[in-house]
Structure 1
Amino acid sequence: MKLLLVAGPFISLREPYNGGTEAFIVALANELVRLGHSVDVIAKDADETNLFQVIEFHESPLSMKDDSYRPTSEWLGQQHYQTLQYGLFDVSQYDVIHYNSFIPEIYAVGALLKTPGVLTLHLPPTEKFVLMYKFFLKHAPVVPVGISTRMSEQWTSFLGNDVDVILNGIVFDQWPLHARKADGYLLWSGRIAKEKNVEAAIQLANYLERPLKIVGPVFDNHYFRDRVQPQLNERIDYISHATQQQLSKLAAGASAYLATATWEEPFGLSTLEMLASGLPVIGFTTAIPPELRHEKLSIAIDSQDWRDLIKPLDVAGDSAPGACRDFAASFDMRKTAAAYVSVYKRIAEKVR
């Protein structure tokens, strides 16, 4: 099949990734090529090692800033200009379009197209996204897919129809198994923002007097400056953003991974990546979806109090790295890609 995956014309797919959605798009696109499909991806750029082709919509050489009718900054005006180019792009060459974007203009344009599509629901419902996706699904021949059971259940109540589930996966070759260090540091990764709640990990590490390494881009500068930075010291270490290879090396020196987000993670790729690396995961049910929970290897507590993580951390200390990886093994990107191909073929045949 000839497939078009849509990230967005100003979305970079270079490492270190901005989030889990970018990592998913890259891994899926590469696996689809390995399965024999032709894959193009609408994005700003991507690493040269990828197997798919990037379709770029360039910025205008003219200024897109607007100070009059609807005030718009230069960068936002350029984003609007790039995105609306999708409406002039010839999609007739593709069998299926797979949408993985959070850009409203993409769906405004996409609603005009007759090419069958798949919409992956990467985020929980919000008023904005509910309106955006309901409009899109009303006008376009598109099938929605949730990346976990709880995403499917949440979106079903808004979209009015059952939402298929295709669980996320990872490329296991990128996450080698490590011989875990029982006396190693605690590890936390994610974007630095209030809802990711790195503070809980810091408080736990301080109480236990154990080293903690924090990895991730700063999304909320005020939160980082006021709530995180003052707590950094020789034991609590912030490493900033990291590639998957760098994060894998950090996992090699850790004893456990902490998942402390207070919002409901749609899937939790970081949890899966650490399990594949041989690390047990301890965290809150909001951070670890049901599919990734295990009573000894990936322990989720129905609490958002860091004190309640102390005992589970002791339990996880007895876990074997091989057991962690075996538990994660069913979440392979090859399985995820094959499931999407089945949906692609089904909707393409239905439209024909």
Structure 2
Amino acid sequence: MRIGIIAHLKHPIAEPFAGGLEMHTHLLARSLRDRGHAVTLFASSRSEPGIGLEAICTETAIQTVGTTEASDVPFFREHHAYLSLMNDLRHRDFDIIHNNSLHYLPVAMADSLPMPMVTTLHTPPFCWLESGIRLCAARNHSFAAVSRSVAALWNHVTHSDAVIWNGIDLQKFAFHPQPATDPYLVWYGRIVPEKGLHLAIAAARQVGLPLRIAGPILDDDYYWTQIAPALGHDITHVGHLAHQQLARLVGGARAFLCTPMWDEPYGLVVAEALACGVPVAAFARGAIPEILDATCGVLATPDDVASLASAALSALKLDRNACRTRAEQMCDAERMVDNYEALYLRQIDRAAAPSRADRAASIHLMPSTLPSRASLDQRSASHG
């Protein structure tokens, strides 16, 4: 298949990934190319060239999401990049477009494309994307949600045609049957308030084990006011790590603390920890209860430090082999790509069906436009 993937533009689709969406988009593009598909990735300029990059904009990262974006130059740069791309795609030869952008324009303009489109819903509803989806009138458009939780959150706006759980490269996050000799807990992800790192720090101190932190600082005020003052010999931030280093850090942990302060749409960090064989103690938010079961994780009351500490103590007793097994069942990228390929083919076939029906109808109507034998005989007699 000839597949165009529209990425979001706030961060490059390249390691070290700014977050789960960047990793997901990179993995999807690479996996589809490895399967022999012709993939073009429409992304920001510093994205990885080796996955079919066609850069459409420089990075547009901004600190907040909301209506105040409209006054920022990055907002307009992003808007015009997607507008130009959608106009260009009207004349491109793709079998399908996969919209991974979180932007309103690709969905709002989907009906202008000659080829079908699939949009993945990666987040709960927010005003900009919701407005674009409400304007989407394309017959050949399909929505996929990354979890049942996300599908339910969007149900008042649009129906999800499929739930396709995100996947990870199980080889990159290899199984660690034994933790590191020196025991520690791990937390990793984007260091922003909604990820709740400050709660993980408090819970780790209640458990009595060191906490190692990895991830990019994307909110300076939050980091310097709430995280940096809490660092010490037992709480350390090791920086923003590439895949190999991150997998080694996570795999050495006794347990992973997951502390979202919002309805986590999926939770790639949970999948990665399980793949490494690391039990998870997590707030029961969003899709996390869909990934974890009693063999590999313990759920805690959201925003409750004491509950999280108790969950972590229970998680320390879980079997690391069971964690890996759960990851293989739920979180394998091969399963995810299989499901997207099947959705692409359904959409392509559905888009072709009306054309076939139109051709059949025209063929059926053609005889009625020809003169009948009786009318020919009458014409002959009249001219006799």
Taking structure 2 as the reference length, the TM-score comes to 0.82
Deviation at 1:238, TM superposition (A): 1.4
**Two-structure CA RMSD over aligned residues (Å):** 2.2
The aligned amino acid for 1:169 is G
Shift of 1:315: 2.2
Amino acid at match of 2:166: N
Q: CA deviation digits over 1:49-76, x for unaligned, max 9?
A: x4x31112256xxxxxxxxxx9965545
1:256-335 → structure 2 map (5 Å cutoff): 256-286=255-285, 289-330=288-329, 331-335=331-335
Residue equivalent to 2:343: 343
Aligned to 2:47: 46
With over 3 angstroms needed to count, the CA separation of the structure-2 counterparts of 1:157 and 1:77, relative to structure 1, is: closer
Alignment check: 8 A CA contact 1:152 1:163 kept: no
Partner SS, residue 26 of structure 2 = helix
Match of 1:31 in 2: 31
Q: Secondary structure at the match of 2:56?
A: coil
Conserved 8 A contact 1:183-1:255 = no
Partner in structure 2 of residue 55 of structure 1: 54
Q: CA deviation at 1:227?
A: 1.2
The alignment status of 1:195 with 2:202, answered yes or no, reads no
Q: Secondary structure at the match of 2:309?
A: helix
Deviations 1:302-321 (A, max 9, x none): 34211012332222222232
1:225 aligns with 2:224: yes
Contact 2:301 2:308 in 1 (8 A): no
Conserved? CA contact 2:2–2:94, under 8 Å: yes
Contact 2:201 2:235 in 1 (8 A): yes
Q: Deviations over 1:89-126 (max 9, x none)?
A: 24531000000002334444444223101000000112
Paired residue for 1:207?
206
Report percent identity of matched pairs: 28
Q: CA deviation at 1:230?
A: 1.1
AA paired with 1:329? E
Q: Tell me the alpha carbon deviations over residues 185-223 of structure 1, each in whole angstroms, 9 at most, x when there is no partner.
A: 110011112211111111012223321111112222221
Structure 1 or 2: more helix by fraction: 2
Cα distance in 2 for partners of 1:125, 1:58 equals 25
Runs of 4+ in structure 1 displaced over 4 angstroms? 70-77
Any idea what the Cα deviations from partners look like across 1:315-352, whole Å, max 9, x if unmatched? 22222322211111022111111111111111111111
When residues 305 and 38 of structure 1 are mapped into structure 2, their CA distance, relative to the original with a 3 A threshold, is same
Report the TM-score, using the length of structure 1 for normalisation. 0.89
Residue in 2 that maps onto 1:63: none
Change (3 A) 1:73 1:304: closer
Distance 1:28 1:305, change over 3 A: same
Query: Taking structure 1 as reference, are residues 285 and 30 closer, same or farther at Cα in structure 2, changes over 3 Å only?
Result: same
Give the 3 Å change call, closer, same or farther, for CA 311–274 of structure 1 in structure 2. Answer: same
Whole-Å separation in 2 of the counterparts to 1:181 and 1:294: 24
Q: Sort the Cα spacing of 1:6 and 1:235 in 2 relative to 1 into closer, same or farther, 3 A.
A: same
| Correspondence list, 1:59-78, <5 A | 75-78=74-77
Aligned AA (1:213): R
CA 1:164–1:90 in 2, change beyond 3 Å: closer, same or farther?
closer
Tell me, yes or no, if the aligned pair for 1:114 and 1:140 is still in contact at 8 Å: no
Q: For residue 169 of structure 2, what is the aligned residue in structure 1?
A: 171
User: What is the distance in 1 between the residues matched to 2:291 and 2:71?
Assistant: 42
User: How is 1:78-117 mapped onto 2 (pairs within 5 angstroms)?
Assistant: 78-91=77-90, 92-117=92-117
Supply the AA of the counterpart residue of 1:233.
G
Instruction: For structure 1, list consecutive stretches of 5 or more residues without a partner in the other structure.
Output: 60-69
**Does the 8 Å CA contact 1:4/1:94 hold for their aligned counterparts?**
yes
Check the 8 A contact 2:103/2:129 in 1, yes or no: no
Whichever residue aligns with residue 193 of structure 1, its letter is V
Q: Closer, same or farther in 2 for the Cα pair 1:306/1:234, shift >3 Å?
A: same
C-alpha contact (below 8 Å) 1:296/1:316 kept by paired residues: no
Q: What CA distance in whole angstroms lies between the structure 2 residues aligned with 1:259 and 1:273?
A: 12
Greater Rg by CA: 2
SS in 1 for 2:128: helix
Contact 2:295 2:322 in 1 (8 A): no
